[in-house]
Chain A
Amino acid sequence: MSALTFTLKTRPAQRVDMSPLVCHQLQGKDPDQIAAIELQSGNRKLRADELFTISGSDAQHIIIKNSFEKLDFIGKDLAGGSISVEGDAGAYLAIGMTAGTITVTGNAGLYAGCEMKKGYLEIAGNTGDFLGGPLPGNKMGMKGGLILVKGNAGERAGDCLRRGTILIEGNTGDYCGSRMIAGTIAVMGQTGRYTGYAMHRGTLLLWHTPPLSASFNDCGTHTLAFLPLLFKAFAPLHSKFADHAAVFNRVRRYAGDMAEMGRGEILVRLEQL
Chain B
Amino acid sequence: MIINGVTIDATFAEAFPMKATRAIITAHNEKWALIAAQAMTGFATSVIACGCEAGIERTLSPEQTPDGRPGVAVLIFAMGGKGLAKQLETRAGQCVLTSPTSALFAGIYSDIKIPLGKNLRYFGDGFQIAKVIDGKRYWRIPVMDGEFLTEATTGQVDAVGGGNFLVLAESQPQALAACEAAIDAMRKIPNVIMPFPGGVVRSGSKVGSKYKTLNASTNDAFCPTLKGMTATDLSPEIESVMEIVIDGLSKEDIDQAMRVGIQAICDLGAEAGIKRISAGNYGGKLGPFHFHLQEIMA
Q: B-contacting residues of A (Cβ < 8 Å)?
A: 163, 182, 184, 201, 203, 222-226, 228-230, 232-233, 263, 265
Contacts and interface: CB of A to CB of B under 8 A. Distances in A.
B1 interface: no
Main DSSP-derived SS at the A contact region: mixed
Contacts of B147: 222, 224-226
B140 A226 contact: yes
A182 B130 contact: yes
7 contacts: A203-B131, A224-B147, A226-B131, A226-B140, A226-B147, A230-B131, A232-B68
B132 A163 contact: yes
B233 interface: no
Contact of B67 (A184, A203, A225, A263): A225
Give the interface SS of chain B, mostly helix, strand, loop or mixed: strand
Nearest to A225: B149
Which of A182, A201, A223, A225 lies at the interface centre, i.e. has the most chain B CB atoms within 10 A of its CB? A225
Nearest to B101: A225
A265 B129 contact: yes
Those 6 A-B pairs whose CB atoms lie nearest each other, nearest first: A225-B149, A233-B134, A233-B133, A229-B133, A225-B103, A226-B149
B132 A229 contact: no
B146 interface: yes
B131 A222 contact: no
B93 interface: no
Contacts of B149: 225-226, 229
A222 B146 contact: yes
Interface of B: 66-68, 103, 126-127, 129-134, 138, 140, 146-147, 149
Contacts of B130: 182
Contact of B68 (A163, A228, A230): A228
A72 B68 CA distance: 43
Given A201-B129, A265-B129, A229 B138 contact: yes
B146 A223 contact: yes
A184 B146 contact: no
A108 to B, nearest CB: 24
A57 B132 CA distance: 37
Contacts of B133: 226, 229-230, 233
Nearest to A264: B129
Given A232-B68, A233-B133, 18 more contacts: A184-B131, A203-B129, A203-B131, A222-B147, A223-B146, A224-B146, A225-B67, A225-B146, A225-B147, A226-B131, A226-B147, A229-B66, A229-B67, A229-B133, A229-B134, A232-B134, A233-B134, A265-B129
Contacts of A233: 133-134
Contacts of A226: 131, 133, 138, 140, 147, 149
Contacts of B68: 228, 232
A223 B134 CA distance: 21
A232 B138 CA distance: 14
A64 to B, nearest CB: 29
A263 B132 contact: no
B135 to A, nearest CB: 9
A11 B126 CA distance: 54
A233 B137 CA distance: 13
A233 B103 CA distance: 18
B67 A228 contact: yes
A265 B128 CA distance: 12
